[in-house]
Amino acid sequence: MSSELELPPGFRFHPTDEELVNHYLCRKCASLPLAVPIIREIDLYKYDPWQLPEMALYGEKEWYFFSPRDRKYPNGSRPNRAAGTGYWKATGADKPIGKPKPLGIKKALVFYAGKAPRGIKTNWIMHEYRLANVDRSAGKKNNLRLDDWVLCRIYNKKGTLEKYQPLDQKMEKFAEIEEEQKPKIMVSGQNTTVTQTMISNDQLHMDTSDSVPVLSLMIGSYVESTTRKAH
């Protein structure tokens, strides 16, 4: 990526909070050019965090994006935090950026895989920077856009690209596997019908030692028996 951007050898991108707000977010929101187009524009909330690194223009252990924010409710000011197969949840207090008058606000969020409120907490962290003192009232009807641009820093606390699968998807997959492994036995009235593809001849045994014949089906590690009542 760095070669496509024509960055000098040894270049590292480790901006401070103030630099991110002053030189990148403020200029982006004012439609002014950036010194180096190193931050990609993307709708971050359409993806899981582990999908984002390969979409970034630059980054090794942390990745930066400009992203729009939408409202959770049409007439409210709360942002919609649903993203990919999970959601972002705020943690800690907001931090004002800039002195003496703050220009931006920094918010820390943690990604949870699965549906709220029972998502699985992950090690993916986002620092979201938004402009301070901005009117975010709904204004026009059906205006779901809360911010045209916020600046987001994404990273994993363990420094890995670990992925998470929501619990409900895991259970569905497990149920499908379990269903495939079940023997296909159909019982109708007094007649027992066994699918030929599931039971071979050596697994079919007629026990005539008792006064009433018993048909035994030896399947895997257990034996299932069906007995006909004498009339």
**pLDDT for the residue 103:** 93
- 139 and 192 both lie in a single domain: no
Q: Specify the CATH number for the domain of residue 102.
A: 2.170.150.80
Cα(first)–Cα(last) distance of the chain, in Å? 82
- 105 and 163 both lie in a single domain: yes
- Is 64 a domain residue? yes
- 187 and 95 both lie in a single domain: no
**pLDDT for the residue 139:** 63
Least-confidence region, from 16-20, 108-112, 163-167, 201-205: 201-205
For residue 7, give the 3-state DSSP assignment.
coil
Range of the domain at 219: 183-227
- 139 and 45 both lie in a single domain: yes
> How confident is the prediction for the chain on average, in pLDDT?
77
Instruction: Determine the average pLDDT of the residues in 22-26.
Output: 94
**pLDDT for the residue 97:** 96
- 34 and 72 both lie in a single domain: yes
- 155 and 221 both lie in a single domain: no
- 30 and 73 both lie in a single domain: yes
Token pair, residue 61, equals: 């252990």
- Is 141 a domain residue? yes
More confident call, 60 vs 39: 39
**pLDDT for the residue 200:** 44
Instruction: Determine the average pLDDT of the residues in 49-54.
Output: 96
Single residue among 167, 195, 217 that ends a domain in this structure = 167
**β-bridge mates for residue 62, sequence order:** 155
- Is 212 a domain residue? yes
Is the CA virtual torsion 32, 33, 39, 45 positive or negative? Answer: positive
**pLDDT for the residue 169:** 55
- 38 and 73 both lie in a single domain: yes
- Is 126 a domain residue? yes
As for how many domains the chain has, the answer is 2
**pLDDT for the residue 166:** 65
- 84 and 190 both lie in a single domain: no
Neighbours of 170 (CB within 10 A): 12
Q: How confident is the model at residue 78 (pLDDT cuts 50, 70, 90)?
A: confident
pLDDT tens-digit series, residues 93-143: 999 998 889 999 999 999 999 998 999 999 999 999 999 988 777 665 557
